[in-house]
Chains A and B, each alone.
Chain A
Amino acid sequence: MKTKFSGILTLFLALVVQLTFAQEKTISGTVSDENGLPLPGVNIIVKGTTNGTQTDFDGNYSITASTGDVLSYSFVGYTKKEMTVGASSNMSFSMAPDVTAIDEVVITALGIKKEEKSIGYAVQKVKGDDIAESNETNVVNSLSGKVAGVQVTNSSGATGSSSRIVLRGASSITGNNQPLFVIDGIPVDNSNYGTADNGGGFDLPNGAADVNPDDIESVTVLKGPNAAALYGLRAANGVIVITTKKGSTSKDKLGITFSSSASFENPLLLPDFQNSYGQGGNPFYFEYIDGQSGDGGIDESWGPALDVGYNFVQWNSYTVDGAPLPWVSKPDNIKDFYETGLTLNNNISFTGGNDKANFRMSLGLLDQEGMVPNTDFRRYNIAGVTSLQVGEKMNVSLNAKYIKSEADNLVTVGYSNANPVQQMMWGGRNVDWKALKDYKNLPLAPANTAGAGTPLNWNNVFQNNPYWYLDTNLNGYNKDRIIGGVNISYDIASWLTISGKTGVDFWKSQTRENKAKGSNDTPEGYYRVIDRTFNEVNSEILLSSAGNITEDLTYSLNAGGNTMYRKNDLIHAAAPQLELPGLYNVSNVKTGVDPIYGATYAEQKINSVYGFGQVGYKNMLFVDVTARNDWSSLLPVDNNSFFYPSVTVSAVLSDMFNMDKSTVSLLKLRGGWSKVGSTGALGAYRLQDVYQFAGDGWDGTNFVFLPSAINNPEIGPETTSGHEFGIDARLFENRLRFDMTYYDQTSEDLIVDVQLSSSTGSGSSLQNVGEMRNKGIEVQLGATLLKTSDWQVDLDLNYAKNDNKVVSLGDLETLVLGGQWSTTIEARVGESYGSIVGPAYERAPNGEILFNNGLPVIGGSKVLGNVTPDWTGGANLVVSYKNFRVNALVDGKMGGDIYSMTTTWGRYAGVLEETNQGRETGVVGQGTMNIGTAANPVYVPNNVVVDAKGYNQAAFSNSVAESSVFDASYIKLRQVGVSYTFPKKWLSNIAIDDVNLSVAARNIAFLYKKVPHIDPESAFSNSNGNQGLEFGQLPSARSISFNVNLKF
C-alpha cells in the first residue's frame, strides 16, 4: 500500500514540475452560475495550448496566459464561453445555462461537484424543490419513492418518530446498515437514541431529521461503495450528501423568502374492530364491580352481544347510582380517540452578497401536535452560511446551524400499557372512550384496584384511564445541536489549491420519563432522566490540482487527510419509586428504594489519508481512481489500519461515436470496482474484558457482575467490496431518460457479537465472522410525455430489486437480531437478512394444519417469513400547465413479511372483526385431525366444533406466530400536490417577486396491501432488530397541507 501511495505522490509532483514552466501572467477570477452561485469544475484552457485549469469549489480559478490569448471556459450544461485576455488580470463572470443541456452537475464525495457524465457509478440527486414539495418534516421521508434502491421506513405516525433508510439492502449483520449523512461537508450523527422496542419505550427522531428541509438545496444519494469509497469506514452503507442553500453573489439587494404551511393529520388506517360483542368472558352476562374483580377486570371482548336489548352494570353506571345501562356498540370509539394532528411550519430566509462576499440566513419553526392526545414536537432551526473572498487567492466560508428540538410528550410504543393502543387491542368494544376523556370529573378507581387513586377506567387491573395517562405520564425530550464548520481555500498556484476544513457536530439531549403514582406499570411512580452529549470534530486538508495534460487529456488530482474525533457521553439516573407524588426529580426517590444510575463515556478517533484523481479524454472517456487509508482507535493498535481502493470508468458512447444529438443526447456506459472497510457496530472499548457495576444497588451496596458479552483483543474491520455496471441514456433531446445499474457487492469479516450457548458462561463473543452478499439492479426511467409552451407532463419511474443473502456466519447457522414474545428476527445462513422465526402449527401429512379436539396443534419454531422486500419502486408524475403544477407520487414495496401482533392479541381478546365469526354457532377450524391412534393414524378433515373464544385463543397467542405473519407488500399513493405560481405581471407593482400557493396531501391511500388492520410500513424504531415486528401500531398519518411561499 505504501508504494502505491508514494506512486501517486510521485505522479503528482511530476505534474507540479511540468506545469510550473509555463508562467507568464496570472489571470484569476470567479465563475458563477446564472444564480450567482459559484460554479466549480469549469474547464478553462488557453486555446491552442495544453495550458488549462479548473475552477475550485468556490468557482475560483487562476491561470497563466499572455495578453491576447483566448481563454475557453466550458462546463457541461452551460454554454461554452470564450474570452480574450486583456489588460485586467481579473476575469470574473457568470455562465449561462445551455438550454439544450442534458447533463447535470452532481455533488459527489467530499463535496466535489462533477458533471454527471463523467461519473462512473450510480448517483442520484433529489432537488430541494422536490424535498419541499413532499412537505415532510423529516428529510429521510421525503426521499421515499424518489430514488431507485432507497428503502425508507417511517416507524409510525407519532410525533418524533424515526425513519430508517437503507441503500441497496443490509450489508452488515449488526451495524446500523444506514448510510452516512454529510451536510455541507460535515459528517453528522444520524443515530437514534430512543428507547422504543417491542416492549415499550419511545422513539426519537433519527439524527438527520434535525435538518430543516427548507434549507436544503439538494440531496445526492451515493448508493454503492464505489461512490462512498472516499468517506472510508463510515460509508460502507452509502452516503447521503445534503447541500444546503447558499448566499447569492449576483443580487445586490437583499433577497427574502418566506414560506408557511399548515398540515392537518389523521390516521391513514385503523384496525377493523367488531361491534357486535362487548367486554367480558361470559356471553350472557356482564357486571362491572370495581374494574378489577368480576367481568370488568377482563380486558377482552368475549362478552354478551351488543345492541340486542341487554342492560348491564358498566364502568359508567356510577352516573346512574350503579344501575344497569344499555349494552350497545360504540363503532367509532377508537376513531374518536385520535385527534386531528396539526403541523405548522414557518420559514424565513435572507440572502445577499456581491462578488466578494455572500450570505444566507434562515430561521425555521416547526410546531406539531400529534394525533394521539397530548403528544407534540417542536423544532427550531437557525442556519447561517457566508462566503468571503479574501484577496484573489483565498476564500473563506463559514456555516453554522443551531437546532433545538423538544417535545413535552412523545407516545410510548410496543407492548406496554403505556401505549394507548394496547387497551384498544385488549379492550371492551362497548366502551365509550369519549366518556373517559373528561377524567378530571370522573370518580377515582376503587381503593382495592391496581389503578386506585387514579381516574376511573373501564378496566382497572391492566390499564389506566388512557387520557389521564397521556396527560400525566409524560415522555419529555429536548436536544440542542450545533452543526458548523469553516472552510478555507487558497490558490497556491493557478493549478494548485489547498483547502482546509473543520466541522463540528455537537449536541446535548435529555429525555425524561414521568410516571405518576397509581400508574399500572409503576404503582409507586417513576422518574428517569437520560442526558447525552455528543461531539464530533472532523478536520480535513485537501490539496487539489486540475487542468489539461494535452488539449484532449484533462486531469484532476487530489490528496488529503482527515482526522475525526468523537465523544459520546451518557449519564442516566432513575428514581424507581417516588417519595412524594407529582414531583419528578431523581432526588425524590422513595425511602428504602435504591436509585438506579449509570454513566458511560465513549471516545474514538479515525485518522485518514486519501488521494483521488480523474483522467478525462476528450470529455468522453473518464477514469477515476481513489485510494484511502483509515486508522481507527476502535481496533487493536497493531491491526487498526485499512486501505480502500476504487476505480471507475465512464465512457460517453454518444460522443465517441458522434451520435445524432437530437436522437441520442447521451449514451454512457460506466463501471467500477471498489472496496470499503467498516467498523460496523463496533463501539469503543471492545478489546478488553471488564467487570461492570450493576447500576442498581442493594440498600446502598454496589453490585458488580461479569458482563454477558466477551470482548476480543484481535477484532478487525469489516470489508465490503463489489463492482457495478451501468448505462445512462438521454434520448430525443432529453425527453426520454433511462439509467440502469447492476451491482454485486459482498461484505466480509462482519463484526458480530456471536451468540454463544449460555453454558459457556457468556451470552456472546465478539468476532469477525461471515459474509453477506447484495446484488441487484436499479432502474430509473423518465419521460417527458408532453411538452408545449403551456403544457409539460413528466413521468419518472424507479425500480430496484435487491437480492440479499447471508452467505455465512462462521460456525453459526443463525444470529438473533431482535424479536417479540416467542418470535425472533434473525440473520440465517442461506436466507435474506431478517428471517422471522417463530412457533408454527403442526401439520398433518397432507400439509394441512393438524387439529386436536377442534383446536390447532402448535409445533416447534420455524422460519415463517422474511423482513427483506423483493423490490421497491416508485412512480412520480408531474403535470404543468402554465403556472399550475400537479404532482403525484406512488411508491411501493413488494415482498417481505411482518409479524403483526395486533392480529394476535386482537383475535385473542376478541376485538377484531374476524372474531365475530362463530360466536353463536362455534367454529370448525380448517385442517385435518387424527381419529386413529398415534401409532396408526387415520387422518380426516377436522369437524369438531369449538367455541369462538377457545378457537381464537388457541390459534392466536404468544405461543404461535404462524397465524400472524403476513405479506408486508404495499403500494401507497404517497403524495398528490397542486401548486400555483402567480404570473410575474401580477406582481410587477408590489414588492413581492414571487408568490406560490400549494396544497399537498401525503400518505393518502393504499392502492394495495395484504396485511390486515395495520400499515405494513411499520417498525418500533429504525434499528435492525425492530424491523418486521408490530404490535399496537400508532397509526401512520394521512396529511393535507396548505402552503404559501413568498419571495421578496
Chain B
Amino acid sequence: MKKINLIVLLFIGLVFVSCDKDFEELNSNPNDPTSVPSELLLGSMIRSTGNVMYSTFNGGDMGSCWAQHFAKVQYNDEERYLPRESAIGGVWATLYESVAADANAMYDLAVIEENEVAQGAALTMKAYAFLLLTDLFGDVPFSEALQGATNISPKYDSQQEVYNGCLSILDNAMAKLDPANGNLDSNQDIMYGGDVSKWRKFAASLKFRALMRISAKDLRASEMQALVNSGLLFSSSADDANLVYLSAAPNANPIYESVVFGTRNEWKINSEVVERMDGSLGWPMDNRLPVMAQKNADGIYRGKPSGFQNVPNNDYNYANVSALGEFYLQPELPAVFLSYTELQFLLAEAAFKGYISGGNAAASAYYQAGIQSSFDDNEGAAMDTYYSGLIVFSPAIALEQIATQKWLALYSQGFEAWTELRRTGFPVLTPAIDGAINEIPSRYTYPVIEKSLNAASYNAAVSNLPGGDKLTSPVWWMN
C-alpha cells in the first residue's frame, strides 16, 4: 500500500513539474511573421501618408480650411482655429508610428538584403514624414526618435536640425535610387509601380522643395542649381509623386470617403478661391472653377468665407454654398505628395530670386509652365485666354503672382497649401470670422499626450518656442 502511495505522488510530481518543455514551441507566434522581405512594408506607409494628408479631419480641416481653399457650413470649430486634439494626435502618431518607423524597419531589412533601391525608397519616405512633421509642428524629435523602448524620451531637435538631417537622408536616398540597382516590387510600390528612376526624381524634387522652404534662413543656392543641372527633377506631370486611389472605400481618397461615401457635405469651397476665378476680382475667368466647385442650388458658383460660429444660417448653408467639384470628390482623386506643377512654381521663385540661373525669363517660363500644368491637373481644363491681364508675369508683383498661382494649384493639398501660405504670405487672406485667434495659425500645437509621455523633452522644446506651445508661435523657417 505504501508503495502505491509513493508511486502516485511521484507520478503527480513528474507529470506536472516536467511537462513545460513544449512551452516555448506553444508560445511561438503562428499568426505573424518575425521577418519579411523589406519591400512588403512599402505600400502600407505610402497609403498611411496619403490618408493622413487627405483626411478631411487633418489635411481638410487643418490644412485646406486654414489655407482657405475649403470652408465648412457646419461643425467648423477647426476652421475657426479650434483644432480637434484627436486629429493633431492622429497626424503625429501616423507619421511617426506608421510611416517613419516602418521606413526605418524597411531600411534595416533592406540593408540585410543588400537591396539598395529599397533602402532608397525607405529613406525617401522617412524624409517625407519628418519634413511633414517639422512643417506642421516645428521642432520635433528626430535624432533620438524611432528607437522604441531603448529611448522612451527622445529630445526635440530644432527645425533646422531636422531639415539638415532630412536633406542628407535625401542625398543618401538619391545615391541608392540608381536605376542600375534594379527595380522595386511593382505591386507594393503603389506610387510608381516600381520605377526607381521616378523615385530618384521624387527624392530630388523633394530636396528642392525643402531647400526652398528654408531658403530665407539657410540659403543653399548652389545645391538648388546642382539639382536643376542634374536633370533629376520632375520633368513632367508623369513624374508626379501621386498615390492614385482605387474606386472604392477603404482604398478610395479620404475626401470621397468622408464627403460622398460618408455624406458629410459640410466641406465646401471657400469664397477666396471662387473670387479669384469667377472674374469678381477683375481676374480672367478661370476654367478650373467648374472642376474645383459645383454650382449651388441657385445655379451659381458661390464660396463661403472662413469662419462664422453660427452656421449653417441663412447666409451660408448646405444649399447656397458650392460643393467641392466632382473631380475632387471622385474616389480615385490622387493624393499628391509632390507635383511637377508645384515644382514649377518653386523653380520660378528660385529663378526670380536668383537662387538658380535664368533670371526673370526663366522665372516667367517656369511660372507659365506651372499654370499650364495646373490646368492640366484639373481635368485638362482649357487655359483659353487665362494668361492675360493680372495673370501675366510681372516682375513687380512676381512673388505674389507665383505664390498665388501655386496656392490655387495646391487646391485639395491641404497641408502643403497652408505651409506654403505660411512661408510666402501670399495670397493675403483675412483670418476666419469668429476665430479663436485673430490670425491664421503658424503651426500645430503638440499633442497633449506628449506632456505626460515625454515631459522633459516637451518642456525643453516649448521653452524654445517664442510664444509657447501655441498655434500662433512661428516655426523656424517662417521667421
Contacts and interface: CB of A to CB of B under 8 A. Distances in A.
Contacts of B467: none
Contact of A605 (B26, B45, B249, B251): B26
A813 B1 CA distance: 61
Contacts of A293: 297, 317-319
A1020 B17 CA distance: 43
A909 to B, nearest CB: 12
A233 interface: no
Contact of B314 (A282, A543, A599, A603): A282
Given A609-B17, A687-B27, A761-B100, A756 B453 contact: yes
A700 B43 CA distance: 12
Contact of B34 (A281, A592, A690): A690
Given A592-B248, A759-B141, A690 B9 contact: no
A607 interface: yes
B334 to A, nearest CB: 14
Contact of A633 (B9, B20, B141): B20
B149 A756 contact: yes
B188 interface: yes
Interface stretch (B78-86, B218-226, B352-360, B413-421): B78-86
B40 A704 contact: yes
B151 A703 contact: no
Contacts of A462: 263
Contacts of A559: 9, 12
Nearest to B105: A706
B454 interface: yes
Given A292-B265, A461-B263, 15 more contacts: A281-B313, A294-B317, A462-B263, A543-B12, A559-B9, A559-B12, A561-B12, A561-B16, A633-B26, A755-B449, A756-B453, A757-B141, A757-B450, A757-B453, A839-B85
A603 B450 CA distance: 36
Interface in B93-130: 93, 96-98, 100-102, 104-105
Interface string A588-601: 00101110100111
A576 B248 contact: yes
Interface string A670-693: 000000000000001101111111
B397 interface: no
Interface SS of B by simple majority: loop
A988 B269 CA distance: 87
A12 B82 CA distance: 73
B147 A761 contact: yes
A569 to B, nearest CB: 10
Contacts of A609: 12-13, 16-17
A692 B105 CA distance: 13
A708 interface: yes
B12 A560 contact: yes
A761 B5 contact: no
What are the 4 tightest A-B residue pairs by CB atom distance, in nearest-first order?
A761-B101, A450-B263, A561-B16, A759-B141
A861 interface: yes
A388 interface: no
7 contacts: A523-B263, A561-B13, A576-B249, A593-B251, A685-B31, A691-B105, A758-B447
Interface in A944-1003: 949-950, 957-959
A701 B43 CA distance: 8
B165 interface: no
B31 A701 contact: no
Contacts of A708: 97
B250 A696 contact: yes
A16 B4 CA distance: 12
Interface centre among A604, A757, A767 (most CB of B within 10 A): A757
Interface residues of B, number: 91
Contacts of B449: 755, 757, 816
A601 B30 contact: yes
B15 interface: yes
A492 interface: yes
A762 B23 contact: no
A39 B151 CA distance: 62
A559 B16 CA distance: 12
B24 interface: yes
B310 interface: yes
B36 interface: yes
A541 B12 contact: yes
Interface centre among B28, B44, B247 (most CB of A within 10 A): B44
Interface string B199-240: 000000000000000000000000000000000000000000
Interface string A1030-1041: 000000000000
A768 interface: no
Nearest to A594: B251
A812 B452 contact: yes
B424 interface: no
Contacts of A685: 27-29, 31-32
A761 B96 contact: yes
Interface centre among B5, B105, B140 (most CB of A within 10 A): B5
Interface centre among B152, B154, B453 (most CB of A within 10 A): B453
A763 interface: yes
A141 B98 CA distance: 43
Contacts of B351: none
Contacts of B246: 592, 594, 698-699
Contacts of A521: 262
Interface in B405-426: none
Contacts of B251: 593-594, 696, 698-699
A498 B8 CA distance: 9
Interface centre among A293, A543, A816 (most CB of B within 10 A): A293
Contacts of B299: none
B457 to A, nearest CB: 8
B142 to A, nearest CB: 9
Contact of B148 (A492, A696, A762): A762
Given A701-B188, A757-B153, A813 B452 contact: yes
B312 interface: yes
Contact of A763 (B2, B12, B23, B93): B93
A450 B98 CA distance: 32
A883 interface: no
B146 interface: yes
Given A559-B12, A703-B47, A762 B101 contact: yes
Given A561-B12, A822-B86, A631 B20 contact: yes
B354 to A, nearest CB: 38
Contact of A761 (B8, B24, B145, B313): B145
Contact of B312 (A298, A712, A756): A298
B41 interface: yes
B183 interface: no
A1045 to B, nearest CB: 45
Given A523-B261, A706-B102, A561 B15 contact: yes
A696 B48 CA distance: 13
B190 interface: yes
A493 interface: yes
B117 to A, nearest CB: 18
B388 interface: no
A297 interface: yes
A884 B465 CA distance: 77
A310 B251 CA distance: 48
B152 A757 contact: yes
Nearest to B263: A450
Interface string A698-716: 1111111111101010000
Contact of B2 (A20, A696, A761): A20
Contacts of A563: 15-16, 19
Contacts of A93: none
Contacts of B141: 757, 759
A13 B2 CA distance: 9
B26 A577 contact: no
A607 B97 contact: no
A520 interface: yes
A760 B149 contact: yes
A126 interface: no
B75 to A, nearest CB: 10
